[in-house]
Amino acid sequence: MEQESMQTGSLPRIVLASSSRWRAELLEAVGLSCELHPPGLDESACPERRPVERAVELAKAKLETVAQHYPGCLVIAADQVAHLDGKAFGKPRDQEEHFEMLSGLRGREHALVTAVAIQWKDSIKVFHEVTGILFRGDVTDLELQAYVQSGEGSGCAGGYQVERLGPWLIAEVKGDWFNVVGLPIPRLITELRELGVGLQHVAIPKAVG
């Protein structure tokens, strides 16, 4: 059955302060078509903080960097930090660090925090969502090496992603699956509704034919 898009209300231009197509696809799936604007921040220059604080500060910095170019637009920024026992895992710098990172997560549950910052009109909202992720204990070194060599997850916090090959490493996701993909969609919609954005404003797929 063919699909067409109808829009019963109107929203301003939506800008995602990111280069992540996964985040863009999550937004588009719920009718929030957006354009990408990578913030270009040097995240390594961010002061060392606790994982949640770091994610929040980076999300706010990304929002501030991008929103100044889009007055009157709805701008969304996000940052993710994976952490275990208070130690944050960033993006692996090379394959050796990637393997060590995944080895350290094997058989253990860690947390992934996504901080989101939104600006629309005169309002700014900042929130975060935490999801628990249990890595499989029976994943072998050969499997981890194969995952590292695939290149998947090399640009992600913690060195993995839940799409594609990721489920071979993950035993259980405790919480919001969307949050692990890139954005906590249910919580994001709650925050947008508080800003006055409703389903009537978004592009709703309509079945035709």
This prediction's pTM: 0.85
On whether the CB atoms of residues 75 and 66 are closer than 8 A, the answer is: yes
Rounded to whole angstroms, the Cα distance separating 51 from 56 reads 9
Question: What are the φ and ψ backbone dihedral angles of 88, each rounded to 5 degrees?
Answer: -85, 140
Under CATH, to which class is 3-204 assigned? alpha beta
Domain boundaries, the chain: 3-204
32: enclosing H helix or E strand: none
Catalytic-role residue among 79, 85, 94, 122: 79
Active-site residue flag, 79: yes
pLDDT in tens, the chain (209 residues): 334 444 445 677 899 999 888 899 999 999 898 999 999 877 665 666 788 999 999 999 999 999 999 998 999 999 999 999 878 887 899 999 999 999 999 999 999 999 999 999 889 999 999 999 999 999 999 999 999 999 998 988 889 988 889 999 999 999 999 999 999 999 999 999 999 888 887 766 665 44
